[in-house]
Amino acid sequence: AGYVHLVLLGFFHVPASHMTGAVSRLGADLASGDRADLRIVVGIVAGFLAGATLSGLLIGARQVGAGRRYGVALVVEAGLLAAAWLVGRRGGQSAVPLAATACGVQNAMASTYYGLVVRTTHVTGLVTALGLLLGQAVRERRLPGWRTAMLATLLLGFLVGALAGAWAFAVLRLDALVPAAAVTGLAGVAYWAHRHRLRGRAAAPGGSS
């Protein structure tokens, strides 16, 4: 998510995955009457919403759990990123809503994990939750280890992705979306194959249900 956000921000100068910034910019465009920018920002918000809706249809649950259709969602996300790259290469502004839709799919894939709110496309909630846990740890003198580790890992992952995106964008420009689409698609196919293999074992005589 950090990678894609950095590439889109560098090329189109708009926050494709951060709805706080997008809605704030929407308000500014409405106030100033900037119709050209308004269309782009409306496309970002609508695209992100559509992606989250699509993710909900595909996966059907907010809680992370084995056996759900994460592979299909990842392949769809990869297709959207590839489409954004193709449209952007031709100078089309529709690349931004397409990328925002991909971010919406990803962000909605796992909204909660054992009661912990999970956000992968923006870090405001991560930093807030991490700070809350640290504050509670000081007060109660007990650090909730796995929750803190998970939030810190997500935050670090976004930072590393943004760093990789900055390097890739400096060299490849918009073509930096290609490796993002490829890796996401391969991850989706790998998860689908893994899930299919597990279902095959469970269906076999003597397999666990």
Helix or strand holding residue 117 (H, E): strand 116-117
> Per-residue pLDDT averaged across 185-202, rounded?
86
CA dihedral for 127, 80, 54, 46, sign (positive or negative): positive
Which two structure tokens, joined as six digits, stand for 192?
A: 């689908």
Residue 183 identity:
V
Give the least confident one: 54-58, 69-73, 119-123, 156-160.
119-123
Which two structure tokens, joined as six digits, stand for 118?
A: 């999970």
Comparing 18 with 165, the larger pLDDT belongs to 165
DSSP H stretches of helix in 16-143: 19-32, 35-59, 70-89, 95-109, 124-140
Bridge partners for 34 per DSSP = none
pLDDT at residue 204, as a whole number: 67
pLDDT in tens, 24-54: 888 999 999 998 889 989 999 999 999 999 9
Q: Is the distance from CB of 117 to CB of 129 less than 8 angstroms?
A: yes
Under DSSP, the state recorded for 110 is: -
Which two structure tokens, joined as six digits, stand for 54?
A: 């699509």
User: Residue 172 — pLDDT band, cuts 50, 70, 90?
Assistant: very high
Does the pTM surpass 0.85? The reply is yes
Q: What angle do CA 64, 67, 72 make, to 5 degrees?
A: 90
